[in-house]
Structure 1
Amino acid sequence: MAVEYAPKGLIGLLTPQANTTVEPEYYILLPQGYAHINGRLMSGKPTIEERLVDYVDKLDHACDQFANAPIKAVAVGCTGASYLVGRERESRVLAEIERQRGVPAFTAATAVVASLRQLGARRIALASPYPAGLTEASKGYWESQGFTVSRIASAPMDHTQFHPIYSMKADTAGGLLHELAADDTDAILMLGTGMPTLRPLLAANASSRVPVLSCMLCLAWMGVSLADGQPAPLEPWLKGDHWKSRLPQG
C-alpha cells in the first residue's frame, strides 16, 4: 500500500529524544518518492550510557508509535546503543521486531556494516563526536563486526550547550576528516547520528582517495535498499547525486 508522498516506500524512523539532526538529514538524504515518519526514543535515565541501553530495552514499545502505518522498514537512528549492548543482543532485538512487526528493522550501526561490506572495506578510520568511553565501545563494536580500526580522531565537546553532541557544527566534523585523511584505510566513517555531517561528507568525497561515510547516509541508504528489496549502489549516494541540491544554502 502506497501513500501520497511515499509511492516508492515509507520508512519508520526512530530518533533519540533530544536529537536535532536525524530528521532533517534523513529528509535531505531520501530520494524522491520515499518518505519517513518519525517516532522518538524516550528515556528518563540520568546518563547518556544508561539512556542508550534503555532505548534498546524499550525498542519494541517505541515501534508502537507507527501504529498501522504502511512502513516498509524500521530504521533506528542511533549508533551509541549498538556499541553498548553489543552485536549479538542488537541482532536478537532487531530480529524480534521483524518477527512481530513483519518488516525489517535495522540500526544506524548495522546500516554502516552493510555499507562497508558493499564497499569491500576492512580497515576503517573513525571520526568520533563521543566521550572517550563511548568511543572505545564503538571501536569494540566495529572490531566485533570484522573490521580493523586503524585510527580515531575525536571532536572536542562543549558541555555548556544543551547537548555536547547534538549542538556540534558541521565544521567540527570536517576538521576531524583532515586528521584522518593521511591514514592508510579503506574507508573513513563519521560516527553518530547527532553530529551534522552532510556538508563535510560531500566535500570529502569530492577529493578523498577513500570513501567517506556517515552513519546518517548509511541509515538512509539502507532504508531505501530495504524498501526496494535490493541494495542500492553506494557511489551515487557518496557523491550526493540525488541529495546535494537539497542541502540548505549558507
Structure 2
Amino acid sequence: MTAIAGFLYPGHSAEDDFPRMEKLLNDAGAAVRLPLVHTDIGTDAHRVDALLEMGSVDRLTAVLPDLTAQGAEAVVWACTSASFVYGREGAGDQVTRLAAAAGLPASSTSFAFAHALRAIGARRVTVAATYPDDVAALFAAFLRDGGAEVTAVRGSGIITAAEVGTWGRDEVLALVREGDDPTADAVLLPDTALHTAAWLPDLEAAAGKPVLTANQVTAWEGLRLLGHPTGPCPPMGTLFSAGRAPDVS
C-alpha cells in the first residue's frame, strides 16, 4: 500500500529534492508519495524575527487544504530554522497546533533531526550549517535540549534561502568537510533550502560517517509518522539503509 506523507515547504529553493527522493524510494520498492505545497515565507532571511514570522502557524495552516487534497496522511513542516527558532517547547507547540488543524500526525524538520539521530544511534554530532552563526547556535541548542552532544558548530553566514538554493555538489561537499569533527558520530546539514538528495552517498563518503541533511530527514520523518518501511535505499544514505519500518516511539 502506498504511503502518502505531505510536506509544507517554505518558498522555492530546493523543493525538487522531494520528487527526487520519491523516485529513489520507489525505485527501491518503498511505495511512497511525497506531495509538497509551498508556504508564504514573508521575508527571506535567516534572522530570528523573520524566522518567527515564517513559522507562524497561520502561515502553515493557510495551505493545508492544498496538501490534504493530495491525500496526505501525515504532514511535516519542511523547515528547520523556522521551527527550532521557537525553542524546543515552542517548536512542540507549533507541531501540536499543526496536527490539530490538519487532523493528521504532524512534525517538523527540527524534530526529524532529533528522531533520526536516535534511529542511527548517533549521540555526538557536529552541525555544518549554511546559516549565520547566531542561527546555527540556536539549532545546536535545540539538539542539546533533546539530549544530543554537539561537538562543533559551523555557520556559513548566508542570509537568504534563495542563495542557499544555488549551491551545487562542490559547495555542499566542502560544507561537510569543513564542518566535520573527527570525534562526532554524524554530520548534520540543517537547511531545507540546500540541495542534498542527489549526493547523499558522496557526502557520507567525504565525511566517513553518517550525514543527515534537512530534506533527507524530513522525508524520513513523514514516513516515520506513518510507520512505513523505507527501503533499504542506499542512495538515501545511512538513515534509509536498514529498510525497516521507522521507530515511532
Question: Structure 2 length normalisation: TM-score?
Answer: 0.80
Task: Specify the SS of the correspondent of 1:203.
Answer: helix
Match in the other structure for 2:21 = 29
Q: Distance in 2 between matches of 1:44 and 1:207?
A: 36
Match in the other structure for 1:130 = 131
The answer on 1:72 being equivalent to 2:65 is: no
CA deviation map 1:113-149 (0-9, x unaligned) = 1110111211101111011221121121111111111
Question: Structure 1 length normalisation: TM-score?
Answer: 0.80
Match in the other structure for 1:44 = 42
Task: Specify the SS of the correspondent of 1:194.
Answer: coil
Q: Distance in 2 between matches of 1:11 and 1:155?
A: 31
Match in the other structure for 1:91 = 92
Q: Distance in 1 between matches of 2:203 and 2:63?
A: 35
Deviates more, 1:90-99 or 1:210-219: 90-99
The answer to whether the 8 A contact 1:75-1:105 is kept is yes
Match in the other structure for 2:6 = 12
Residues 191 and 64 of structure 1: is their aligned pair in 2 closer, same or farther, counting only changes over 3 Å?
same
The answer to whether the 8 A contact 1:191-1:214 is kept is yes
Give the superposition deviation at 1:202: 1.5
CA deviation map 1:213-244 (0-9, x unaligned) = 111111111222333x25747884315989xx
Give the superposition deviation at 1:74: 0.7
Match in the other structure for 2:210 = 211
Match in the other structure for 2:156 = 155
The answer to whether the 8 A contact 1:190-1:197 is kept is no
Give the superposition deviation at 1:185: 0.7
Task: Specify the SS of the correspondent of 1:124.
Answer: strand
Match in the other structure for 1:112 = 113
Residues 147 and 15 of structure 1: is their aligned pair in 2 closer, same or farther, counting only changes over 3 Å?
same
Q: Distance in 1 between matches of 2:181 and 2:132?
A: 24
Residues 153 and 93 of structure 1: is their aligned pair in 2 closer, same or farther, counting only changes over 3 Å?
closer
The answer to whether the 8 A contact 1:168-1:196 is kept is yes
Larger radius of gyration: 1
Q: Which runs of 5+ in 2 are unaligned?
A: 242-249
Q: Distance in 2 between matches of 1:46 and 1:221?
A: 26
Deviates more, 1:211-220 or 1:55-64: 55-64
Q: Distance in 1 between matches of 2:161 and 2:102?
A: 35
CA deviation map 1:175-221 (0-9, x unaligned) = 12222445201111112011222344311324644211111111111
Q: Distance in 2 between matches of 1:38 and 1:177?
A: 27
Task: Specify the SS of the correspondent of 2:237.
Answer: helix
The answer to whether the 8 A contact 1:127-1:173 is kept is no
Q: Which runs of 5+ in 1 are unaligned?
A: 1-6, 243-250
Give the superposition deviation at 1:150: 0.6
Match in the other structure for 1:170 = 169
Q: Quick one: percent identity of the two aligned structures?
A: 22
Q: Distance in 2 between matches of 1:133 and 1:80?
A: 11
> What is the alpha-carbon root mean square deviation over aligned residues?
2.8
Residues 219 and 44 of structure 1: is their aligned pair in 2 closer, same or farther, counting only changes over 3 Å?
closer
Residues 112 and 233 of structure 1: is their aligned pair in 2 closer, same or farther, counting only changes over 3 Å?
farther
Q: Distance in 2 between matches of 1:9 and 1:199?
A: 22
Q: Distance in 2 between matches of 1:184 and 1:209?
A: 12
Residues 202 and 213 of structure 1: is their aligned pair in 2 closer, same or farther, counting only changes over 3 Å?
same
